[in-house]
A and B are shown apart, each in its own frame.
Chain A
Amino acid sequence: MEHIRMPKVENVWLVDRSSSRRTQVGTLYLTATHTIFVGKGSEDRNELWVLHSLVCNVVKHKASQSGYPLLIHCKNFQVIQFIFPQESDCHDVYISLSRLSRPEKYEELYCFSFNPNVGKAEREHSWDFLDLKAEYSRMGLPNKLWHVTPINREYRVCDTYPADLFVPKSVTLPVIVGSSKFRSRGRFPTLSYYCKENHATICRSSQPLSGFSARCLEDEQMLQAIMKSNPGSRFMYVVDTRPKLNAMANRAAGKGYENEDNYCNIKFQFIGIENIHVMRNSQQKLIEVSALRSPSMGEFLTGLENSDWLRHIKSIMEAGLFISKAVAEEGVSVLVHCSDGWDRTAQVCSVASVLLDPYYRTLKGLMVLFEKDWVSFGHRFSHRCGHLIGEAKEVSPVIDQFLECIWQLMEQFPCAFEYNEKFLISIHNHIYSCHYGNFICNSQKERKDLCIKEKTHSIWPHLWENKLDFMNPLFKPDQSQNQGLLRPSTAPYCFKYWRRLYNRFDRELHPRQSELDSLMTVKEETQQLEEELALYEQKMAVLDKEHAKTLYMQKGVLDSKQALWSLPLDTSLANTPQDYISGFIGGAPNVFTLQQGERESAEVCLYGDKTKSSDADNSDQESGVADFSSHSSGEESLPSEESVKDPDSDETGPNRA
């Protein structure tokens, strides 16, 4: 609390960046965990809650006529703009938020204070929701060729690896130790995925410390053992996911890549995914493009191209496809590494797993995959997501790219995934929000030391409880093309801009009616109908048999012919014109001077009138408010709850704090 200079500021403006008409005035509160804005003159529904841990940066802008603007950029790509009447208030909030959004110690993170009123037992139980042991046994492990090595139980061989690791049974402890000494950070080759059908595996490690000529017998034996643990194949692939130049440069530092001459029967392959710094800059550019206000088509497409983002996504997908094809089609095992083996390696292994195994295309399966390939194998969440104040150079959207690869796959295979886009976005949000303990720290050891399981809650049961929201209504697991290996096209035009993630909070940019929501409503309704039908059939049977006296006629869930799905879709939004006129204002400046006045008066009366019209279904249709120059007009309803508080990010909800 000592960081809060100003717990409350009145008469702050919250600017809706898509439409000045929806700007509202209210009170800003700073708490230890949230920034809260409460709109004036309206009931509780009009609140905006922002977790400090989601704040990426806070920027003061130059004072304008209306006051002193403060922009808050969030890690979930929300951009919030406040305008303060007093410069000192603006500055105080700026200083407070700058500090609050950059915690120095883990203990300051929200997950340590988040207390959802559940018992200790239940909280501990939440951590048992996923069980990696069960996951390996689902794959068919341990078996006669693979077993868990106890070598890293105390995290002594590799402190960024999990305690339990699968290695070939034939490998002795000294070989593991030897191999780990020959690998960056001790990350020796170990199993990530095992294909029951043909015994091919995906293994992962970090780069070998080969320099220009060094070799390590144990490491060579290790690879040999991995190869041999796949009895059907005569060789294995070693995939270095880095561009060849980067890998070569590493040799000068005593690191590098495998020399094919030293290892028996390996096929070595570079895949050319760029490093975390390139990815960070690329996403930065992408975010800038996504945040452009009314860009031209050319600006947008050029920006998209210059960001290089989709090129990177494509390269990750191609790497995943290469590996999954090697495993499924050739039956060949693959060892994947990059430099440290916790970024590109995690991406590529998990993309390959999603392509290979339908299980990872289910809700539970994706959760398990996150726990396995990312959390347990030491993806450096704290560094990459910038949970704590620290090296800006360590931040990188590695995990975003994995989520996006899944999304791109969902676009190509609409029936292959049990979960929908909202699930991915929700996970994305929670990775950054520090609301739950799962994605805190950089390794399993750190989490153990911090007693994460004792002090925080796990996200997975929470998502599971809300799984109805995350289901893909089109999911058809029994269809042949959705079983086994997915073979996505990697033609450039198959990669699209992920509007739902990057423009998540710009609701005017999304389709006004959602196919997904409609189908989900229908499915829900269908389920009710099935229940009702069963009930009636039962009653009919009873009637037939016993000639029951009376029949309680229950009013059915669905009496009307009106389909439900077309109704709830925020009809007021469906009916909002946006800015179609911008080109015109520049072109003929003085034609609409009269209207300018009308606009202002309309704006003024708007504020007095908000709550009343906010409930009207299609108030804008009858509004007749002449607003020709802003043209985001018409919609007088306040931004509904959804627009301010995202429904799936419950951490911004007032009830959960």
Chain B
Amino acid sequence: MEFAELIKTPRVDGVDLHRPFMPTVEGTLCLTGHHLILSSRQDNTEELWLLHANIDSIEKRFVGSLGTIIVKCKDLRVIQLDIPGMEECLNIASSIEALSTLDSVSLMYPFFYRPLFEVIEDGWQLFVPEEAFKDLESMTDEWRLSEVNKDFSVCPSYPSLLTVPKDIDDESLCKAASFRHGGRFPVLSYYHKKNGMVMMRAAQPLTGTNGRRCKEDEKLINATLCAGKRGYIIDTRTIAVAQQAKARGGGFEQEANYPQWRRIHKAIERSNVLQDSLIKLVEACNDQSHSMDRWLSKLEASNWQSKVKEILTTACLAAQCIDREGASVLVHGTEGTDSTLQVTSLAQIILDPACRTIRGFEVLIEREWLQAGHPFQQRCAQSAYSNGKPRSEAPVFLLFLDCVWQILRQFPCSFQFNENLLIMFFEHAYASQFGTFLGNCVAERVKLQLSQKTVSLWSWVNRPQELERFLNPLYEPNNLVIWPSVAPQSLLLWEGVFLRWNRSTKCLDEACQEMVHIIEYNKELQNKVNSLRRQLAQLETEESPLQTP
């Protein structure tokens, strides 16, 4: 397909670009297959390059022959283009609409993007299951790497290699898979080095109304328990929701069949409710009424902060079971691809200091989100401004990032990265030049040949010149488990994302710079002092023989 067919007017002069807290830019608007570009003819003004994929929705308005297009982006930015000429404006609008709603993945920008930087370290190799398994093997010999899902037939949303208990053979895995929603049988998510406890994740068991059971499934999860030990199953749904799921063939683990396990239900709502919550929150943030009552009641009604609290609480609970109770944990909801992953990945951030480094956090996203089959493409197809009918969109990943940010705020010295990294992941999950977040699972990515045809986000982020932007100056490795507060008084609105385009950040940026400066100056002094000290010591030893009588 030719993009040219969709571009009715490739170029318009005399367009005004209005962005909040920035001066208006007048220039030429160009449409390419993947970008909306506005460039002023002055040399020193910056250009706007906007990926069509980042456009969530547009609105048109006309005053006389002057047309206005309001472009609302998935990263929550809203910009305004004033275009002279009604026809041009209509053409531009319909072109943008067509280009921003392309259905075919293979037409996405990552397949056309050629990096301007040299790929030194291929991001597609960031996480290699075999190597991760080697690490695990050095700690315990109770697990094995199974190839049962080699061709993605046992579980289409799982990767080809999975870590499972050593004593469970592939045949049992297949049987357990048939007992779990979407074939997502229990697999290892995290091994807690300190006490050897593990966290596993799965989808709901298919007990149905007549209480079906599966010996292999029971055996599989029991194999993770030490003799006489008890484990916890954290079901992210309320008991009522879990009961209802039975009618549709789903369900939960019956005590009678899983006597060594204690089930805990939490109240994380299904992901489809989340989209609505995001839309309401963003609407509240953009409310122009300037009324305090409206703001607070809309913020409350959006329920976003409640969801942050609920998910963090559940993650803390999982971490607590593992670290404090010395018990292994199985986490699942319904499909095991959304709330389950939020909980397992957040629990790891709480428990494992490695996940609080940049590299470790990337690996966590790769392992617990991308490989674990979170359907990024479906979830991130639309964002808060879309007027399209929602299909399976849900800001599950954004909510996870928000929770990470909350922990980061409470432990500002314990993370190697800063807020910018989280915001950047949010942007790239919704629209990107990199292939990392394309597709819904490993099987799809293999089919799309992403690793051959596109560049990985990690290849770019991990370049030293990029990393600098994401470093937290206050970072000092902290090997402890970090327990965040989940009280409403302690949880904040993530302004960096939700109010990002609604306020001037000049003063806040200044504060960040000053923080960096304070710490860099300190380090510089330290080096100076150390080197002088060495010099002095050297002088002393050189001179002392001469001076001694």
Chain A residues close to B by CB (< 8 Å): 290, 294-302, 304-305, 308, 310-311, 314, 412-416, 473-474, 476, 479, 481, 489-497, 499, 502-503, 506, 508-515, 518-519, 522-523, 525-526, 529-530, 532-533, 536-537, 539-540, 543, 547-551, 553, 556, 558, 562-563, 565-566, 569, 571, 574-578, 580-581, 583-584, 587-588, 591-592, 618, 621, 624-628, 631, 633-634
Contact = CB atoms under 8 A, between A and B. Distances in A.
A501 to B, nearest CB: 11
Contacts of A584: 264-266, 317
A305 B507 contact: no
A40 to B, nearest CB: 28
B254 to A, nearest CB: 13
B544 interface: yes
A492 B478 contact: no
Given A539-B536, A543-B539, A634-B324, A577 B316 contact: yes
Contacts of A490: 290
- Chain A interface, >50% SS class: loop
Given A522-B522, A529-B522, A532-B529, 16 more contacts: A296-B488, A299-B488, A474-B518, A476-B514, A494-B503, A511-B410, A512-B485, A515-B413, A518-B412, A522-B518, A543-B543, A548-B543, A553-B537, A566-B478, A580-B317, A583-B313
B533 A565 contact: no
Contacts, number: 258
Contacts of B297: 302, 305
Interface string B520-537: 011001101110110111
A587 B540 contact: no
Contact of B292 (A492, A506, A525, A624): A492
A584 B308 CA distance: 17
Contacts of A474: 511, 514-515, 518
Contact of A495 (B262, B292, B486, B507): B292
B299 interface: yes
Interface of B: 238-239, 262-267, 285, 290-297, 299-300, 303, 305-306, 308-309, 313-314, 316-317, 319-320, 324-326, 409-414, 474, 476, 478, 480-493, 495, 499, 502-504, 506-508, 510-511, 514-515, 518-519, 521-522, 525-526, 528-530, 532-533, 535-537, 539-540, 543-544, 547
Given A499-B490, A540-B535, A412 B409 contact: no
A540 B522 contact: no
A569 B413 contact: yes
> 6 tightest CB-CB pairs across the interface, nearest first?
A566-B476, A300-B488, A492-B295, A305-B296, A414-B511, A301-B300
Contacts of A540: 532, 535-536, 539
A514 B238 CA distance: 36
B490 A592 contact: no
B511 to A, nearest CB: 4
A481 B490 contact: no
B324 A577 contact: yes
B515 A519 contact: yes
19 contacts: A301-B305, A414-B507, A476-B510, A481-B510, A491-B503, A492-B296, A497-B489, A503-B489, A512-B483, A513-B410, A513-B411, A519-B474, A529-B526, A550-B547, A551-B539, A578-B316, A580-B313, A628-B325, A631-B320
Nearest to B514: A474
Contacts of A618: 480
Q: Which of A296, A308, A574 is packed against the most chain B CB atoms within 10 Å? A: A574
Contacts of A511: 409-412, 490
B488 A556 contact: no
Contacts of B483: 512, 574-578
A492 B514 CA distance: 27
Contacts of B504: 489
A342 B536 CA distance: 64
A302 B300 contact: yes
A509 B292 contact: no
Q: Which of B263, B292, B314, B412 is packed against the most chain A CB atoms within 10 Å? A: B292
B477 to A, nearest CB: 8
A574 to B, nearest CB: 6
Q: Which of A512, A523, A525, A618 is packed against the most chain B CB atoms within 10 Å? A: A512
Contact of A492 (B290, B309, B317): B290
A540 B532 CA distance: 8
A574 B480 contact: yes
A566 B413 contact: yes
B522 A549 contact: no
Contacts of A536: 529, 532-533, 536
B540 A553 contact: yes
A474 B507 CA distance: 11
Nearest to A519: B518
B521 to A, nearest CB: 6
A588 B266 contact: no
B413 A556 contact: no
Contacts of A529: 522, 525-526, 528-529
A628 B508 CA distance: 41
B502 A415 contact: no
B519 to A, nearest CB: 6
Given A511-B410, A540-B535, A575-B483, A295 B488 contact: yes
Contacts of B487: 294-295, 508-509, 578
Contacts of A494: 503
